[in-house]
Amino acid sequence: MIRIVLADDHPVVREGLRAMLSAEPDLEVVADASSGPRAEALAAELRPDIVLMDLRMPGAWTRSCG
């Protein structure tokens, strides 16, 4: 199972991504966030395999991405 945290400042985008990803049997969306700092906290707490983040949203932690 691949565990994912979604991060986007638009709720409709997060909901759409969650619906699309949840349809796949080997993917699990474990949390979502509307800001970079919240996504960073969730990633540290939940240790997902992937953080799928909108890098242009306010507060995105681009300094940590690479």
Confidence of residue 44 (pLDDT cuts 50, 70, 90): very high
- Number of residues that make up the chain: 66
Q: What per-residue confidence (pLDDT) applies to 58? A: 74
Q: Is the pLDDT of residue 46 over 90?
A: yes
64: pLDDT strictly greater than 70: no
Paired residues of 43 in beta bridges? none
pTM score of the predicted model: 0.85
50 Cβ contact list (under 8 Å, min separation 6): 2, 3, 4, 5
Residue ranges and CATH numbers for the domains of the chain are 2-56 (3.40.50.2300)
Coil/strand/helix, residue 51: strand
Q: For 4-31, what is each residue's pLDDT tens digit?
A: 999 999 999 999 999 999 999 999 999 9
Half-sphere exposure of 49 (CA within 13 A, CB side): 8
